[in-house]
Amino acid sequence: TARATARLFIQHVFRLHGLPDKVVSDRGTQFTAQFWKHLMTALEVQVCLSSAHHPETDGGTEKVIGILEQYLRCFVNTQQNNWAEYLAVAEFAFNNSQHTSTQTTA
């Protein structure tokens, strides 16, 4: 639900990283619900929804996911069932790497 998604964002994103300027997501109902829209408006966070006809909106997200997958491949076991154990380390590595487009860390 939108309320549960908002709670997860507060606990796992905003608390650790602060408020973003923008959230890019698909058009899942949790991201299009009135509660979510009102929360993001109150927090002055821009919401960008991708569409099936313009998937490039999600391009940046897909790139980050690809980079995290590369990091995780270095650590997971052959069954690839322990990736969640290393996700925080992969996130840390990504956030502390210099990014070519911005020349800054995330």
Do 14 and 44 share a domain, yes or no? yes
Q: Count structural domains, the chain.
A: 2
**Burial (Cβ within 10 Å: 0-12, 13-18, ≥19) of residue 94:** middle
* Helix, strand or coil, per DSSP, at residue 88: helix
Do 45 and 62 share a domain, yes or no? no
Domain presence at residue 105 = no
47-69 b/e (C-beta count within 10 Å ≥ 16 → b): eeebeeeeeeebeeeeeeeeebe
Q: What is the pLDDT of residue 44?
A: 92
Going residue by residue through the chain, which has 106 residues, state the pLDDT in tens, using 9 for 90 and above. Answer: 888 888 888 888 888 888 888 888 877 888 888 888 888 888 899 988 877 666 555 567 778 888 899 999 998 999 989 999 998 888 888 888 887 766 666 6
User: How many residues in total does the chain contain?
Assistant: 106
The CA distances from residue 97 to 14, 45, 68, 72, in Å, are 20, 25, 12, 15
Domain presence at residue 103 = no
Q: What is the pLDDT of residue 61?
A: 72
